Structure formats: C-alpha cells, structure tokens
Amino acid sequence: MFIDSHCHLDFPEFQSRLPEVLANMQLAKVSNALCVSVDLPDFPNVLKLAQDHPHLYASVGVHPDYEDTPEPSFDFLVDTALKHSKIIAIGETGLDYYRMGDRSYESMEWQRERFRTHIRASIASQKPLIIHTRSASVDTIQILKEEGAERIGGVMHCFTESYDVAKAAMDMGFYISFSGIVTFKSATELQETCKRVPLERMLIETDSPYLAPIPFRGKINEPAWVAKVGEFIADLKGLPVDELARVTSNNFYDCFQIDRTTS
C-alpha cells in the first residue's frame, strides 16, 4: 500500500467528485493521504475531510504564497493542532521567493516571520513540519536551523532542490518527499538526487490537484496517482515496487508519529 503524503483534496477541482477520487485511491492501493492546509479560511474544510474519512489526515498552517490572507498566530496553531487528533502536522509552511518579482528581499520579511511562527508552533505542539521551499533553499535551511527545527523534524515536500539541500534537511531529521515532478523527462537532475536519497528517508506525494505524474501529465492529479510516482522511483532505484511502498509508508507513520495499531 502507498501513502500520499501531500494533497489538497479540499480544492474546488475535487468538490463534485470526491467519492470517485477516494474509490480510485482504494483501487490503486493507496491506503492514506494527508490533506494539507494552505490558509485559514479553507482550513475547516481540510479538517472536515480528515474527520469524515478514517484514512485521511490533516495539517494546519498557511502557505507562504498566500499573502493577503489572515495571519495564523502561534497560539492558534498550537491550540488547533493539539485539539484534533486527525491533525498530524503543521504546514504547509516555508519560503517561496519565486513570485517575489521586483520586490526587495526586505519586503519578504512577512514570509520569514510567518515561517518562524509555524516552526515554533510545531515544536510546542510536537506536530512535525510540512516544508514548502521554492527559490529560497538557503534561507529555508538557515531559518530551520536558527529555530531548532531538528527538535521536531518533518518533511521537505515536493522536493526539487539539490542533494546538498536534501542532505542538510536530512541532517536535521527531515524526510524528503518526491512528487510527480521526478517522473518528468526533463527532471534528470532531480532523478539523480532521488537515487542518492536513502529509501529510509523518503516519502512520496502527489501535491494534487497539481503536478500529475507521467503518464497523466497535464491532467488534474489525484492521490491514486501517487502509485505512479512510487513505481517510477522503484524503477529508478532498482527496487521492487512492494518494498518501496512498504518502506515509504512506514516512513510516513514514523515521520508523523502515527501509532500503526490505530491507523
């Protein structure tokens, strides 16, 4: 069985076809999925998905790309994470300078502050972090270090950085999660990085509705297709698919401190 460590099932793409998407997971042997929060107005929908479906989990947090949106306080994140047993992580949080455009480095301070708030809430609630980083890996690693994130760990989601960045994150106890991007023909460097990341530190994800893997590239992605990511990586690493599925699923439970007997 595979686990999709990162999806957005609350997004409008899924609203009318959730039963079908959940049935497809079962058919593809995808046992669980983590529904990741991106802002506070939508967070109740993410939580409800996890509460309504035993095999779905939720996180709480505000994505670095969401600028004009209510800011989450430390207290809100900690209280919410501790109040609901289906919330297993804080995030997605991190840094994204890709859309900075002409703006100055200083003008992105709000993002770094928001990131620090999430890390502090993660340590305080003992719920691991889901990290999003794009065009900002140096600052991401630096802030994780400054805030002592090795005390809690988590996952570097939809990983597209170099092996050195993966290594720095793994040294702090983080897992590295690969999405459908690794299956793209152009992703040769990422494939090399994926080969070097030990299976014991690896998670797999869809980031659906985005980033559908080959052979579904361009379509609306869904958690069932994490199986395609898993099959591709097993082939890349020369491993049986069953082993990749088993180890990455165990990694998911370890990463998010989930008791396997109750999951």
CB of 241 to Zn ion, least distance (A): 25
CA distances from 40 to 8, 87, 128 (A): 14, 14, 19
Question: Applying CB under 5 A, what is the total number of residues that bind Zn ion?
Answer: 2
In this chain, which stretch among 111-119, 128-136, 240-248, 252-260 interacts with Zn ion, using CB under 5 A? 128-136
In this chain, which stretch among 53-61, 72-80, 127-135, 143-151 interacts with Zn ion, using CB under 5 A? 127-135
In this chain, which stretch among 110-118, 130-138, 186-194, 243-251 interacts with Zn ion, using CB under 5 A? 130-138
Nearer to Zn ion, 174 or 234 (CB): 174
Determine if 132 is a binding residue for Zn ion (CB under 5 A).
yes
Span 243-262, contacts to Zn ion by CB under 5 A: none
In this chain, which stretch among 32-40, 119-127, 173-181, 226-234 interacts with Zn ion, using CB under 5 A? 32-40
Long-range contacts of 173-176 (CB under 8 A, 24+ apart): 174/129, 174/131, 174/149, 175/201, 175/202, 175/203, 175/251, 175/255, 176/201, 176/202, 176/203
Nearer to Zn ion, 50 or 234 (CB): 50
Nearer to Zn ion, 131 or 152 (CB): 131
CB of 6 to Zn ion, least distance (A): 6
Residues near Zn ion, by CB under 5 A: 36, 132
